[in-house]
Structure 1
């Protein structure tokens, strides 16, 4: 059995010693890994799956912004089918996390709202962590905050762009 040889930079799999900003990228990778581990732990402790927790997050955000969220809109945000969303909402409703109610101005439409129980569950699992994250963010010197925020936005935009194009390549092929 032969092993494939992969051309890699001198000092690492992704970046060599000369890569500018290497320490920042390594720290960002460490944060993402820690965040992923936390989210896996969160879903286990809440007795839910990842999509359930993501759905509750979207519903709570829509409630907070006073932007009623329909099941179809939620499906789009989660990237799942409307049939899967119906099953997900049935499960969340059965556990007391969401309720479906008629839209305030168009009674034919159904919107999804988080229950007080869902808010309580999210707060009980996340409040302490979010408070500490806010404290840590507050330690960033004021003159550096704009650069940090700009960097994080540009990285998010890049990942979103790559994600969007990866989906296109999967459908269209490489050329």
Structure 2
């Protein structure tokens, strides 16, 4: 879409149940396709009805993937503390590449993968929380991920990223 002002034409449809169902159907189909792809690539079965919480961008300290990882640990601990508490099932995906000489970025990737291994193999957690590091994130992969995303994490440190340059 080039002319964002055209989005105003959708405003009258916001309360139209047929339109809302059609949009929900498209989103769910995208989530099913991505779930199948994630299983093929990583062998991880995700709940396509879970919230797809995604942070995809170059790995860097100021982009705060580490903060996102700490949030994963908080969610995991909440589930472990009270597995019967109501919890919105969530699939967290983090993807991006680290510069070859950027040691801290590579350590962040390692940490996310270690947290994912613990969470994804804990039977108490089950389908409530899944974590996947998306290897080799690239434009062709983004074309499959972004249409299925429910929550796009934009948590870079204030003032460090030009507005509108992320996904």
Give the TM bin, normalised by the shorter chain: 0.3 to 0.5
Relative to total residues, which structure has the larger helix share, 1 or 2?
Answer: 1
Alignment TM-score, normalising by the size of structure 1: 0.32
Greater relative contact order (CA < 8 Å, ≥ 6 in sequence): 2
Relative to total residues, which structure has the larger strand share, 1 or 2?
Answer: 2
Larger radius of gyration between Structure 1 and Structure 2:
1
